[in-house]
Amino acid sequence: MQHAKQFYIDGQWVDPQNAAGAATLDVIDPSTATAFAQISLGSAADVDRAVAAAKRAFPAYSETTIAQRIDLLQAILDVYRKRYDDMVHAISREMGAPLQYANDAQAWTGVAHLETMIRTLDTFEFEYVKSSILIRKEAVGVCGLITPWNWPALQIATKVVPALAAGCTMVLKPSELAPLSGIIFAEILDEAGVPAGVFNLVNGEGATVGEAMSRHPDIDMMSFTGSTRAGVQVAKAAADTVKRVHQELGGKSANLILEDADLKQAVTRGARACFDNSGQSCDAPTRMFVPRARLAEALAYAKEAAEALVVGPADAKGIDLGPVISEQQFDKIQRLIGVGVEEGATLVAGGPGRPEGLKDGYFVRPTVFGNVTPNMTIAREEIFGPVLSILGYDSEDEAIAMANDSLYGLAGYVQSASIEHAHAVAKRLRTGTIYLNYADYNPDAPFGGFKQSGNGREYGEFGLEDFLEIKGVVGYAS
């Protein structure tokens, strides 16, 4: 890749500030556990350069018209579509998504959120008069954006696109584990004609580039997606400059299968939803609650669903699940599977080790645990791999209480033959987004969490609002 060892700053591809001494990092193909590319790792000096460019660009860009921003987003969408296959292959190679999944889901989300924001901008009310007060929504300023590796195009789009729509300028740090999709995204923005300094990209690690961004006095807002542990570090580093911090963090989402649901369908689809993306989604339904009287039946359906999945290299045909992202993640998942066995959960499917015939790469067996109790580690910690915990309940009140008994509150799932019944249960769940009867993904729905799953919301008008400040002009209509 032409720009792999460069950063995008002030409308140009540039070498690191200390090019001769800049550290580099291998990009690992998780299907083979071998390096296939290399990036430069930025420093605080590179962040300073990028922030200075964004600060210079802000006054002019923040005053662009809504029509101009719509035209810019449309130009980005056009170029994104032209580079679609490049995005698909980069995502598949760097984070292990099967090619078909990278095409149909991973890369597609970039298109979906661009289209959604164009529609949103067309009708969004940036100012209105209330009594004699002008309520005006203005760009928050220079934004620092830190995105994860598990959904690269999605997370970059859901930060960069609303920031552009709001009139903000920005510095992006993609995950160093999956950086190539971010570089392609920068190339797309450059070709689409984003003004110099409005968008900047610096690759690097959280402890250096992420820390420098979070502490930087000229960054007005940090938007971070990743683990709760890292999100706390960003918030602490940002506190001294009292900047806004938006966090989309971890999850341990509950899937409540109610008494009146079709059990086979609900369990089968729930298991598949948990295992999608090799279990590497923060909103994955990893805790499944089923009526205790039908627990054995549910475990049989989950076992069948897990064992039907084909695991293999991302570029192979007929693959359902690819590898997990890294050796570190593989080791964590293996450890937690072992803890599940040690703590007495019933291993229904999968288990420790790689699937048969896969000696290289970070492949994990789709794993189902039954007879899980709420106090078990696998019912409380975010595993971030293809591991499903199934818990039995005796009453609906008990199921809701167990679902809410979590540090997290990102997503929730409710399955019922009655939509009114599902509505009633959804009202009682302490979580940011709830999916009824496996509703389709919707880029207009607010996305974000309660409790230690973060604060703020992404997607559509809700994501746009997070990049806006509110100004009141009193006496405006007098």
Active site residue 282: yes
Please say whether the beta carbons of 328 and 357 come within 8 A: no
Find the length of the chain. Answer: 478
Catalytic residue, candidates 248, 382, 458, 461: 248
Give how far Cα 288 sits from Cα of 369, 402, 420, 463, Å.
10, 11, 21, 29
Catalytic residue, candidates 282, 382, 458, 461: 282
Cα distance between residue 226 and residue 247, in whole Å: 8
Calculate the CA dihedral of residues 102, 108, 114, 117 and round it to 10 degrees.
Answer: -110
Cα distance between residue 9 and residue 14, in whole Å: 7
SS3 470: strand
Active site residue 248: yes
Neighbour count for residue 59 (Cβ, 10 Å): 9
Structure-token match 């039908």, residue found: 294
> Per-residue DSSP letters for 106-165?
ITHHHHHHHHHHHHHHHH--SEEEETTEEEEEEE--EEEEE--SSSHHHHHHHHHHHHHH
Backbone angles phi, psi at 22, to 5 degrees: -65, 135
Please say whether the beta carbons of 107 and 91 come within 8 A: yes
Q: Give the catalytic positions in this structure.
A: 248, 282
